[in-house]
Amino acid sequence: MAIVTVNNPPVNAINKNVRCGLLEAMDVALAGKAKSMVITGRGKAFVAGADAKEFDAPPQEPHLNDVLSRLASLPIPTICAINGVALGGGLEIALACRYRVASPSASLGLPEVTLGIVPGAGGTQRLPRAVGLTKAIELVGFGKAIRASEALAIGLIHAVADDPVAFAKAVDLTVLSEIEPLDLMPTPTSDTATVQHAVEQVVRKSAGQIAPKKAVDLVLLAGSCEISEGLAKERATFLELRGSEQARAFRHVFFAERAAVSRGSNFPSPERELRTALVVGGGNMGAAIAYALASSGLSVTILETDNGASARANENADRILEQGRSRGLLTDGEAQALKARISHRVRHEKLEVVDIAIEAAFEDMAVKKAIFASLIAILPDTTILATNTSYLDVNELASEIPNPGRFVGLHFFSPAHIMKLLEIVRGDHTSPETLGVAYALAKALRKVPVLSGVCDGFIGNRILARYRQAADILLLEGATPYQIDEAMRAFGMAMGPYEAQDMSGLDIAYANRKRQNLRKRTDVRYVPIADRLVENHKRLGRKSEAGWYDYEGGKPAQSPTVIALLERASHEARVERRAFRLCDIQERTMIAMIAEAASILEEGIAERSEDIDLVLMHGYGFPRWRGGLLHYADTIGSKKLLARMEELSAQDPISWPIPDIIGRLASSNSSFSGISETIV
């Protein structure tokens, strides 16, 4: 028996050396007259897919599809001992083997569609021959990974063993010889209706994306053609998509996310592990933050003002726990253990050990300052103090705190236990050590950290405000909220701006506009429609069953009241209403957001364009397949952006100021991704 071990740390990613090594190993095994061959991985991973360093390089021989075609046709039985993660090309290696055994902790999947491509080495053709069309469509179309237990249940693997290599060595050769290679097997027949439903699910959930539909078509092809034909079509599709705009966008996001996490190494590592946390405020946000902290292993105390508020905080935390349990995300035991890590208190007594305290009260400067004044009195002077403010000035909040170096903004996004983004807001006095703690916390919470400077709304909410302003001006000029929402969903946004406001509550945005005193500012074109909805009609969104939409039985419907308000506001402003195409709406809103993002970059609020991309994707539903806001801007081109901004600014200079950086990029024909510190 020949034992072949893939050894390319840290995750045994497939590169040219690995491909050459597999070919050489096959030659050695056959030359040595081995009766069987086992392939496994060194360390905790089997093979975690392609080497990221080769993503943007031309394909290099030997190609993995050719390597695996040879592996699949070897005259001796082959066993894949999956000792850990088997993703992408890793699972394709396993599928080219005759027998597959995995460790209980192994994770298996074909995530290529999440990078804008399809499997390119047999995944779409061999997987359906192992598990059938329906399961293959789900796995390939969504790019999701499954555990060994599920892989065994659906027939993807033959066995689960604590020591896959030892198990492989013990497999009877007679048993192996009776198992046909997948290349010689037909695709199992599947119920047509079930297959069609699986296809429709993938298409619906991947709207706007190219790769998932192409991947599903390839899987379906496996049920109607010889494997050689299917493999050839798969390879051609893989090469076609590899250089596509969407694949470039997905790769951009992939590297941006890796870079965001690694930037924590720019700051000192915490001197001690975070173990205890205090969350001030147990509303929906505070309870969700507490849940996220407890899920990462911290002991959490939720501090409230009185017994009634504390009881409501307990109910909020319990509700989130129950949701996790009912959705199968937590076992009963895990839910009980998590609940045990969350405690509640009311009295502001001295606390001897608290590593980090996070304020999660409503957006009021005086309230938040009072909270921190009380925390200073009861917490050790080593406790990191953090605010979850969405808009307020972090420097002002820190102004009365002794040792303001320990103060930082941690802007969670709702729901905090689900949303992956964490804006880390660095104040003027925030120390590198405190930022190191913030990044360590983000890592523990498995969130994508983005560092922001101090300004109103930081990165995300500042761009959101500009987005809403541009949309409101469109309302004044003739569009409706319903057309704008439709346009933005068609663009790929998770929700339109007005349905999103109805969900969060119109009173929240109203309070923020009041704080900013928009009515009296001369640098903003004030549109009164949203304020009138709240002030004159008490329309607060879904919670009042009326906002931008009417809610009849909970279902949104276009509102005659809102349409009348739009027409009246246009008449008062002496604006003649006109029709807008969906593409016009998309262009106007995107250019407004790009302009604001450019200013944020120019001012140093964000350090890199990809940070802005991550904020918009993970916090605001910007389509991942477009690569983020400024990556999308680069696909338009700086010269075209400048020309269109100049047209809009000539019509409405107050609403369309042009950031200097746009002109500099256009004059040098540069892109946001190519910005260096000297350009900024």
Which residues participate in catalysis according to the annotation? 92, 112
Nearest to 42 by CA among 147, 165, 152: 165
DSSP run (H or E) holding 317: helix 307-326
Tell me the C-alpha distance between 342 and 286, whole Å.
12
In sign, the C-alpha dihedral spanning 38, 44, 46, 52 is negative
Sequence-distant (6+) residues with CB within 8 A of 296 are 444, 445, 446
Nearest to 119 by CA among 24, 33, 230, 9: 230
CB of 632 closer than 8 Å to CB of 568: no
Q: What are 644's two structure tokens?
A: 């269109």
Residue type, 64: L
Tell me the C-alpha distance between 595 and 632, whole Å.
13
Residue 3, class by beta-carbon neighbours within 10 Å (0-12 exposed, 13-18 middle, 19+ buried)?
middle
Q: How far is CA 187 from CA 80, 105, 127, in A?
A: 21, 28, 9
Q: What are 61's two structure tokens?
A: 């021989």
Nearest to 597 by CA among 578, 620, 580: 620
DSSP run (H or E) holding 570: helix 560-572
Sequence-distant (6+) residues with CB within 8 A of 24 are none
Nearest to 500 by CA among 602, 380, 389, 621: 621
Q: What angle do CA 496, 204, 449 make, to 5 degrees?
A: 55
Tell me the C-alpha distance between 590 and 630, whole Å.
10
Do the bridges between strand 99-102 and strand 356-359 make them parallel or antiparallel, or are there none, so unpaired? unpaired
Sequence-distant (6+) residues with CB within 8 A of 346 are 303, 304, 305, 306, 307, 309, 310
Q: What are 417's two structure tokens?
A: 């236990």
DSSP 402: S
- Assign 341 to helix, strand or coil: coil
CB of 463 closer than 8 Å to CB of 421: no
Nearest to 157 by CA among 188, 130, 124: 130
Tell me the C-alpha distance between 386 and 376, whole Å.
12
Q: What are 394's two structure tokens?
A: 């972090």
Q: What's the number of CA atoms in the CB half-sphere (13 Å) around residue 407?
A: 24
